[in-house]
Structure formats: C-alpha cells, structure tokens
Chains A and B, each alone.
Chain A
C-alpha cells in the first residue's frame, strides 16, 4: 500500500485557492444557464408559444 500524501501548508493553501476558483466558476456557469433559460422563456412567451 502506498504512503498517504501529506500536504505542506503552502500546498494546502494552493489547493484551497484552486477549489475556490472552481466553485466560483461553477456558480457563474449555473447563473449563466439560469439567465439563458429565462431569456429563452421570455422570447417564447412573447411569441405566444407557451400559451
């Protein structure tokens, strides 16, 4: 069995920073998809397709 990797403090810090960037990127993507969905629904609604 291989030894578990023990991260140094600066490596832990770097990992936390990377994870935060990833989390914010996912939040931004979710918001973008939400905004696109709302825009499309409004466009369809204006065309009367949803009725």
Chain B
C-alpha cells in the first residue's frame, strides 16, 4: 500500500517521476539503439522504427525505476545518488516499483506490436537482466558486477537490429561487444573516483575489494581488448573508411589514457592523483559516442 501521507510526496511533480527513469542513461540507450536500427539492412518503416526505439527507451526507464526501488538503501548512503527521488523523499519506494513494473510491461507489449517476438523477447530479457541479475544479485555480491551486468546496457543495438530485421547476425553482436567491453574501463574509472562512497554503501566494486592498483591494471587490460574489438566492424563492412580512422585513432588514445591511469596513483585517496581516471572517464563517453555516431552517419546516409 502506498503511504501517501507525507506532504513532500503529495507535492511531487512529474519531473520527479521522470528522474526515476534515469534520463541520461535512457538517452545513451536511445542513441545506441537508433544506430542499431539505422545500421541494420533494409529500408525499415519509420513509424515502426520510432515505436521500437521508444519501447527500448521506456524499457531502459523502467529498469532505472526498478533499480532505484531496490537500491534506495545504497542510494541513501552514496553522495552521487543521495539526491535521487526516493532517498530525498520526493517519491515513495512502492510508487517506483509500480512505475517500473508498469513501464516494463508496456515497453515489451509495444515492442511485440511494432517488431515481433525476437525483439520483444530480447527487450524483456534485458529488463530482467538489469533489474534482477545485476541490481538484485550481482551488484551486491561480486566485483564483476558491472562486467557481467554491462550486458544489459550493451544489448539495445541488437534489440533495435532485431526489431528491423527479425534476425541477429554478427554485426549487431559486434556493436553489443563494443559496449560490453567499454563498460568496465568506463565504470571502473568512475569507481576509482568514488571508492569511499562504494565502500560506505558496502557495494563490492573492484577498487573496494581488490584495491586501486588492481583496478587500474584491469582498466588497462580491458582497454587493450576494447581498442582492437572496436576496429572489427571495419572487417565486416559495418564500418567504413571514416569509422576505420576514428576507431583506430580513438582506440589508440583510449589505450594511451588507460596507460596513464595505470601509471598514476588514481583511487589511492589523493585527490590530485585522480585526474587521470577523470580524464579517461570523460573521454570514454566521447569515444563511444564517436564510434556510434560515425556508424550512424556512414550507414544512415549511405
């Protein structure tokens, strides 16, 4: 039963509920999904394409709401998440749960209507994987949480591809793999900066369980895997000449920044030493965006 007695909850606005959907994560998912849809073969139908991308966006929002419902105890402790709608008292926990479940169902039904069983099934699996496997299980139990859990954030291009073609081939799986191997260095760079927060919330992030040094080594190792992998679409024809250049130069710079993180003392508790991790974190967002933007441009205007 929803306790709607507190005055601050009675004055909550629509934007508080939108905040439950993690709009920034949603925008990344919409972008990668859009690239998956545009890159997939065939002309497609713009109404069905819009509906499919919309369903992916709503599913991402639903997953965010379910995550905030389950993790409100952690969010209360961490500085970065303390102002979220539930810990700040603007939205009730049960409301977040209901919103998450309702939007999950609506997104899968919409995908089924617009695209079919394969895309709808993948979408349902993604919500389940993020909300149950990652949020409820992995996040609190293993330092590999964001590695395995990263699959949920990586799947949208494949879902969109499946929505357009009703099939899955090597190419969408390459897009998934790029995001999957991008996630650990991206998140671990952030977690080096927020090690104490994660420790206070008892979340077993790698810097907390294995220390900053081991995290820096892992970041570098994953960057060595990511850079060549991100070049692979050139060999399948998914990426063209511009992609080859952006991927090669961008990947080399990613490895360079990861190497600087490796050589630094980031995450050791000295603020000035965190600069290299901050640089890598910021660049990683630009890097992923650039890779997908080039595919969008090359395939969209081909």
Binding site for B on A (CB under 8 A): 5, 7-8, 10-11, 14-15, 17-18, 21, 29, 32-33, 35-40, 43
Contact = CB atoms under 8 A, between A and B. Distances in A.
B11 A10 contact: yes
A7 B110 contact: no
Q: Please give me the 5 A-B residue pairs with the lowest Cβ-Cβ distance, nearest first.
A: A21-B14, A39-B47, A11-B10, A14-B11, A36-B51
A40 B110 CA distance: 13
A32 B54 contact: yes
Contacts of B114: 36
Contacts of A7: 10
Task: Name A's interface SS.
Answer: helix
A5 B10 CA distance: 11
B48 A18 contact: no
Interface string B1-37: 0001101001111100100000000000000000000
B106 A29 contact: yes
Interface string B130-165: 000000000000000000000000000000000000
A11 B5 CA distance: 11
Given A29-B106, A36-B114, A37-B113, A14 B10 contact: yes
A3 to B, nearest CB: 10
A11 B48 CA distance: 39
Nearest to B48: A39
